């Protein structure tokens, strides 16, 4: 399984997740709110499109990335 890196950013007063260019940038990512912190990077096991479409869900382990 290939892991993905996501970044938490402040956008319009809310913390959102940014994913790589391979994904739709205008879609939201379902991610635990209690882990969100501005400019934090996370390594996640998998990001998949939700079955209803229009947003992504994170699956598997979520680990804080410390460079």
What confidence tens digit (pLDDT) does each residue in 3-44 have?
Answer: 789 999 999 999 999 888 788 888 999 999 999 999 999 999
What confidence tens digit (pLDDT) does each residue in 11-20 have?
Answer: 999 999 988 8
Give strand pairing partners of 50.
none
Look at residue 2 in the predicted model and tell me its pLDDT: 65
Question: Would the CA dihedral through 29, 34, 38, 44 be positive or negative?
Answer: negative
- Mean pLDDT, range 51-62, rounded to an integer: 93
The string of DSSP letters for 18-48 reads E--TTS-TTSEEE--GGG--TT-EEEEEEEE
Residue 50's pLDDT band (cuts 50, 70, 90): very high
Pair of tokens at residue 32:
């635990």
Look at residue 1 in the predicted model and tell me its pLDDT: 57
Q: Give the 3-state secondary structure of residue 52.
A: coil
């Amino acid at each position: 399984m290939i892991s993905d890196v996501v970044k938490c950013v402040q956008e319009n007063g809310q913390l959102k997740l940014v994913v790589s260019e391979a994904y739709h940038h205008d879609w939201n990512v379902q991610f635990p709110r209690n882990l969100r912190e501005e400019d934090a990077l996370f390594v996640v096991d998998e990001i998949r499109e939700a079955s209803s479409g229009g947003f992504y869900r994170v699956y598997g382990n979520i680990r804080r990335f410390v460079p």
